[in-house]
Amino acid sequence: MTRLVFAETASVSEDPDERHVQLLLMRGHLMRLLGAVLPLDANEPPLEEERLVVRVRALLDEEVPGDAVRAAFLHRRMSEVGRELLAVLPAVGASDDVVDGWGRTVCAGFDSTRIREAIRAAKSWEQAGVYPHPHTLAAVTRALSGYVTTLVPYVSIHLESLSAGSRGWSACGEAIERSQEARDVAPGEGLKAAREHAFRLAVHTEALLRYAEQDCERSGE
């Protein structure tokens, strides 16, 4: 399946919603492939594989564009680096079976405990009516925004495992969309609005985390 996603014959959908999901799925597959690449060693000169990892990570940091032309350009670049990664993997002993079974390795990309700590803090402030120090609130909000960005590719992998058009598929896709909307919207003025913004981020991050962990458990069976 992974190789088909990055095939040269693969094309981007003309439907905006399908195109968005397609690019999210492709990002998820790139995250899987990164799990087989050794981490960069700052004390060693960069190898070709390591330069490739840097390029992949840069692509993963890009937002999924709504514009069809920019989306097609991103799709082409992700396809190219995906094929390059697949070409490198056999050299480090990765078979096709391993490529399609890296769910547990992917889990190393996020720390569930730290994410839950941020979720718990933001939810407790809102539920208890507590106003934390502005610097603390800002730090937790930034962390939650980053966790949304981190988790979306993993959730997109889970989305791919569901039957398209099913209730579960729709709910998972909606969780991705709503979390990104919550991350991108600017909080209102004042500490209360900032606290409410952090609470909403926590709720959506928690939903993403559940989906991401489900995929890791399923892939590790």
The b/e string for 74-94 (b: 16+ C-beta within 10 A; e otherwise) is bbeebbebbebbbebbeeeeb
Sign of CA dihedral 19, 25, 31, 37: negative
Write out pLDDT tens, residues 81-117.
888 877 776 544 443 433 443 333 334 467 788 888 8
Percent of all residues in the chain with a pLDDT value above 70, rounded to a whole number: 75
- The structure tokens listed for 60 are 């993963």
- 36 plus 92 within the same structural domain: yes
- 65 plus 113 within the same structural domain: no
Write out pLDDT tens, residues 176-189.
999 999 998 988 88
Q: How many domains, in total, are found in the chain?
A: 2
User: Residue 46 has what pLDDT?
Assistant: 44
- 111 plus 7 within the same structural domain: no
- 45 plus 111 within the same structural domain: no
**In whole angstroms, what is the distance from residue 153 CA to residue 56 CA?**
13
Select from 105, 106, 78, 84 the least CA-distant residue to 19: 78
User: Residue 123 has what pLDDT?
Assistant: 92
- 170 plus 212 within the same structural domain: yes
Query: Taking 50 as the threshold, does the pLDDT of residue 3 lie above it?
Result: yes
- 53 plus 127 within the same structural domain: no
Q: At what angle do helices 16-34 and 68-88 cross, to 10 degrees?
A: 20
Write out pLDDT tens, residues 144-178.
988 888 888 888 888 888 888 899 999 999 999 99
Write out pLDDT tens, residues 25-35.
777 777 767 65
Domain extent, residue 152, equals 104-219
- 86 plus 121 within the same structural domain: no
Better-scored residue on pLDDT, 125 or 104:
125
- 182 plus 80 within the same structural domain: no
Q: Which of 101, 119, 140 is the last residue of a domain?
A: 101
- 90 plus 148 within the same structural domain: no
- 78 plus 124 within the same structural domain: no
| SS3 (DSSP) at 98 | helix
Q: Which of 59, 75, 101 is the last residue of a domain?
A: 101
Q: How many CA atoms lie within 13 A of 150 on its CB side?
A: 19
> Of the spans 6-10, 74-78, 201-205, which averages the highest pLDDT?
201-205
- 110 plus 178 within the same structural domain: yes
Select from 149, 129, 136, 135 the least CA-distant residue to 201: 149
Q: Is 133 exposed, middle or buried (0-12, 13-18, 19+ CB in 10 A)?
A: exposed
